[in-house]
Structure 1
Amino acid sequence: METMANKLSLKLLIDHKAHKILFAEASKDVVDFLFGLLLLPIGSIVNLLTKERMVGCIGTIYKSLEQLDVTYLCSSQSRTTLLSPPISETTFLLPSALPCTTKKLYGHCGGYFTEISGTKCPACRMAMTTELQQVNPGSVVRQREVGEGYVKGVVTYTVMDDLTVVPMSTISSITLLNKFHVKGLGSLEEKVVKLGLEEGLELLKASLQSKNVLSDVFLGKKVSQGNVTV
């Protein structure tokens, strides 16, 4: 969580008169984080937010499968796959901050592998019980150096309250102020908010139920002083 908070931040433009965040300035890392949410399987979203915090009935489906007796399942592995689907390391570009679940794979002679330990190898007929080690494709820092992720880092991005993302420019900022009918600058305040794990999960939750995500997350509740810089 500390690592995430040190790396990601949003510069918010707040209209205190309207009690609303007009828009935010965001770096490549923040936009990669937001776009990476599209890769999350539903089961992983429920797992991250917990059943109790989910809106609608997906949490109920999750709980039903969680509580279903194993005698009714084709395999226990299928329940694990549905309740905790693998999350790609690059989904958030923050593997140290958010959980990343991966399947265990087993082999014996190198030609075949299985998810179920003890399965006989078709080649040598021996039980495949040796857990295979997955290779880390590279650190987040290295990925950014070679230009991976989802968007380019040569520009700053504007993130709207409803999480619309567009490249930022001086003209677009002025246009936005006119769009929101801002007459004076006295009610406006800039505030830099650092994103930690808690804020990331709140953004995910709010994005599923609101059109005013930034305002709901950063104005709807008090953000700790440790995560906000004025």
Structure 2
Amino acid sequence: MAETKVSLKLLIDKKGHRVLFAEADKKFVDFIFSILTLPVGTVTRLLQKKNMAGCLGSLYKSIENLSDIYIQPDQDKMSLLKPKVAISGAKVPLLLPSVEQSCTDRKIYRCGSYNCQFVANDSRANCPSCGKPMNIEQFYVEYAPSNIINASSSSEGGYVKGVITYMVMDDLEVKPMSTISSITLLTKFNVRDLGSIEEKVVDLGIDEVLSLLEVSLKSITVLTDVFLRNDTDEE
């Protein structure tokens, strides 16, 4: 997959040492929306080395260390340790490292009886009606808006439209950007000295993406913690 460059324009209150909000395009908004699609096992694996809060890290390690002799023969530990993220109709490029996507193509089977109304997800199953093997493959169609007749579709993919600039708050709340909303927020944050406001463009690499994921699980000042944390340490 080709690397997707994602950047943000931060509006920073230098006196308060905080990010008031960020101007973002659809790439960043699609990314933070896609965080909600990640399985817990994937999040735990990605954040193990970052001292993940809570007990999920210990649970993950216990599964890693558990011998295969204790696992059911029809189960695989990797389905828990490295669960695959289903590819949704949104088709959002995942910016997180080592996240595998699973194909939505799903196989179903039926038996050879013409009037059989049963289907199975495994070709080893027997029909509950006639007892015949259910080994005749059928075609499964995944639901997506593009499959609906007369539904509007977009070639750009993702969750949000790309012709709009979005405002992302420090707690990752997302809303359409507008001049009025920006002025309203400055008033809300009690910013009276416009000279204390600074614009800063930041690019997201793997470190920043992982930090965003980590901090979003335990903080309501995500953008400040991720992008201004080093500045605080240096003071």
TM-score greater than 0.5 by the shorter chain: yes
Counterpart in the other structure of 2:12: 14
Is residue 89–residue 95 contact of structure 1 (8 Å, CA) maintained in 2? no
Counterpart in the other structure of 1:26: 24
Distance 1:15 1:92 in 2: 35
1:34-113 equivalences under 5 Å are: 34-50=32-48, 52-75=50-73, 77-89=75-87, 93-95=92-94, 98-101=97-100
Distance 1:89 1:165 in 2: 23
Q: Unpaired segments of 5 or more residues in structure 2?
A: 112-119, 127-132, 136-152
1:1-230 equivalences under 5 Å are: 3-4=3-4, 6=5, 8-50=6-48, 52-75=50-73, 77-89=75-87, 93-95=92-94, 98-101=97-100, 146-221=155-230
> Which whole-Å deviations, capped at 9, do the CAs of 1:171-213 have from their partners, x for residues lacking one?
0000000000000111110001111121111000000010100
Is residue 33–residue 93 contact of structure 1 (8 Å, CA) maintained in 2? yes
SS at match of 2:86: coil
* 1:221 CA displacement: 2.2
- Higher gyration radius (CA): 2
> Which whole-Å deviations, capped at 9, do the CAs of 1:102-131 have from their partners, x for residues lacking one?
5699x9xxx9997xxxx98997x9xxxxxx
Structure 1 residues 103 and 180: CA distance shift in structure 2, 3 A: closer
Q: What is the total number of aligned residue pairs between the two structures?
A: 198
Q: TM-score, normalised by structure 1?
A: 0.73
Q: Unpaired segments of 5 or more residues in structure 1?
A: 126-143, 223-230
How much is the aligned-residue C-alpha RMSD, in angstroms? 3.3
SS at match of 2:229: coil
Question: Identity rate of aligned residues, in percent?
Answer: 48
